């Protein structure tokens, strides 16, 4: 159903994006979970000269995809080698060094990581409550204030859409420059959900193009 629906909806619409992601399984589903644009969305944005037939948009994740691992073990392995190494840790390292801070994540000691990768994934998840980090929760519960472990997860996402609502010209200018360069084949509005990707692409071309 989702696959059929995505085929007929405008590829950049919120409904089409949701349908595309729900239709995915395996590696495409994992990549989509991190919020990047789908192959259909990228191709619908790029000008014809910038599209490459058969290009593998998932090559980065595909390098670490392993069919021999159970689903949860595979997720841990992929996260360790992709988003954690190339995303979160890179951002923390650069940001902290820019402010003369020394950050040392203790839970990433290689001995601890190697041990945790050997632990049966079934004992790491509270199946009844559908919550992860079970061992960490049990270890830290007597050491933290009551209710602390029940707080919702808080990430480090940037309020991009709030910024763009206040300063819509920033995205309009970025899209205009990308279209003038012949990179984009269409315009998008300030409500575009993947606006950050276009802003970064514009800055890359400004710096290196």
For the chain, give the percent of residues with pLDDT over 70: 88
Q: Which of 25, 20, 26 is nearest to 43 (CA)?
A: 20
Contact by Cβ (8 Å): 38, 17? yes
Contact by Cβ (8 Å): 192, 51? no
Give, as one character, the DSSP assignment of residue 117. Answer: H
Contact by Cβ (8 Å): 66, 77? yes
Calculate the alpha carbon distances from 192 to 42, 160, 171 in Å. Answer: 13, 11, 10
Calculate the alpha carbon distances from 169 to 46, 47, 74, 161 in Å. Answer: 21, 22, 42, 12
Residue predicted with more confidence, 19 or 29: 29
Contact by Cβ (8 Å): 202, 174? yes
Q: What is the pLDDT of residues 106-165, one digit of tens each?
A: 888 889 888 888 888 778 887 777 778 888 888 888 999 988 888 887 776 778 888 988
CA distance 190 to 165: 7
Three-class DSSP category at 101 = coil
**Which pLDDT value is given to residue 5?**
52
Average pLDDT of the segment spanning 74-92? 88
Q: What is the pLDDT of residues 33-45, one digit of tens each?
A: 776 777 888 888 8
DSSP 79-92: HHHTHIIIIIHHHH
CA distance 135 to 19: 35
Q: To the nearest whole number, what is the mean pLDDT of the chain?
A: 83
């Amino acid at each position: 159903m989702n696959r059929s629906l995505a085929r007929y909806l405008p590829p950049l619409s919120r409904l089409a994006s949701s349908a595309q992601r729900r239709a995915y399984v395996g590696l495409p589903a994992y990549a989509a979970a991190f919020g990047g644009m789908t192959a259909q969305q990228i191709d619908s944005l790029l000008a014809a000269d910038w599209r490459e037939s058969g290009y593998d948009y998932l090559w980065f994740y595909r390098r670490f995809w392993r069919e021999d691992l159970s689903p949860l073990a595979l997720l841990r392995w992929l996260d360790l080698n992709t988003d954690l190494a190339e995303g979160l840790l890179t951002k923390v390292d650069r940001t902290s060094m820019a402010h003369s801070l020394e950050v040392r994540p203790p839970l990433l000691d290689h001995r601890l990581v190697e041990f945790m990768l050997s632990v049966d994934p079934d004992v790491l998840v509270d199946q009844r409550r559908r919550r992860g980090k079970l061992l960490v929760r049990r270890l830290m519960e007597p050491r933290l204030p009551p209710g602390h472990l029940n707080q919702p997860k808080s990430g480090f996402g940037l309020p991009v859409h709030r910024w763009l609502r206040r300063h819509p010209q920033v995205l309009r200018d970025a899209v205009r420059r990308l279209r003038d360069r012949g990179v984009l084949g269409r315009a998008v509005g300030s409500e575009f959900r993947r606006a950050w990707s276009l802003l970064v692409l514009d800055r890359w071309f400004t710096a290196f193009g």
